[in-house]
Structure formats: C-alpha cells, structure tokens
A and B are shown apart, each in its own frame.
Chain A
C-alpha cells in the first residue's frame, strides 16, 4: 500500500530556490501565461560525479510522457558533460489544457521509474520541477573567456 511522501530533506528554501520562484512569477507575466498556480521548484547543485550519474537518469525520460513534455536536444555523454543544467518536470495537464499536479503516487512513481531511489524520490516528489545545475560549467566558461554572471 502507498503510504505517502515522508521525505523532506529539501523543504527549506534557500536564496537560489527563492530566485527560481520569483523568476518563474516574472516569466509568467512577461510571457502572458495563464494558469491558476505556480510550479514549486527546487534547485540542486551537482558536482561532476553527481552530474555523470544524472546522465543515466535523464536518459530514461521520454519526451511526450506525462513527466517530460519538452523534446530533449540531441545529447550524448560527451555533450552532457558540457551542459549547464537540466530540469525535470512533474507537471500534467487536464483535458482542457490546464496545468495540474500529478498525485503523490504518480510523482513518486515517475521519479523512481527514471532511476532515483526511493529516498531521493520522496525528497523530490513535493516539487513540480527540479533544476539540476552542473557547478563546473561556470568555472569552465569563465576560463574560456565567456561572460559568466554566476549561478543565477
């Protein structure tokens, strides 16, 4: 029997989470998007090791599935190492095209299906989207002389 989500390692909002929340509100107005609620987002920083392990997870997402709507760019392991970030979306739509939150059971199932273990899935399931950032990329970009405004 499903017992509900008991995780909560990521419940505390940090400044980067608040930025993501504020920026989504800004984008909603800026892009004239309609919707009754705003997605709840978590931002997680990944070192090279975690980022490498995320490759297998992101590779199991299927464009067009309820959990992943946008087509993924043509990626391979090498390109993945050069990526700045990845966002996993747990958002669904009703028959009239309105954004809806999948149930806890659906979210937990979706996260475990793509490779998160149960503890990780319980921690991430409360969020509508999880932004994973590859922390090596700003350093690399700076070294190549590209303008870097920071992690935000």
Chain B
C-alpha cells in the first residue's frame, strides 16, 4: 500500500502514469507496483528488509 502511494508520488514528479486501470475492488495491488516492490526486496534481501522495516515501531 505504501509502495503504491510512493509510485503515485513519482508519477507526480515525472508526469508518467505507471498505475493504469487499477480496480481496488478486484485486486489488492496493481501488477506494476507488485513487480517494483518485488525488485526492491530482491535487491535489498529479505533479511535486511525485515531488519529495517519490520522491527517494532
């Protein structure tokens, strides 16, 4: 969800539209966002991802 809104922020800055035809009723997340999110995790590694973001607030 945060990733989705971050993509919207970058759409604003770039003038590019990345999220098209997204229907939140039918699918929880847009495929383009899922792909970017997966790449982000792959580059960081799951252990580092958990350590950095999934620790206690």
Contact = CB atoms under 8 A, between A and B. Distances in A.
Chain A contact residues: helix, strand, loop or mixed: mixed
A84 B9 contact: no
Contacts of B8: 70, 87
Given A20-B2, A41-B9, A70-B12, A27 B28 contact: no
Interface residues of A, number: 42
A83 B10 CA distance: 19
A10 interface: no
Nearest to A30: B36
A120 B46 CA distance: 36
| Interface band, chain B | 20 to 34
A53 B3 CA distance: 23
B2 A23 contact: yes
Interface of B: 1-14, 16, 18, 24-25, 27-29, 36-37, 39-40, 43, 52-55, 57
15 contacts: A19-B2, A20-B2, A23-B40, A24-B6, A26-B40, A31-B10, A39-B9, A39-B13, A87-B5, A91-B13, A129-B12, A131-B6, A133-B1, A138-B28, A151-B1
A18 interface: yes
Contacts, number: 103
A108 to B, nearest CB: 20
Contact of A83 (B24, B36, B39): B24
B16 A87 contact: no
Nearest to B25: A82
Interface of A: 14-16, 18-20, 22-24, 26-28, 30-31, 33, 35, 39, 41, 43, 69-70, 82-87, 89, 91, 99, 129, 131, 133, 137-138, 141, 146-149, 151-152
Contacts of A15: 52-55, 57
A148 to B, nearest CB: 6
B10 A84 contact: no
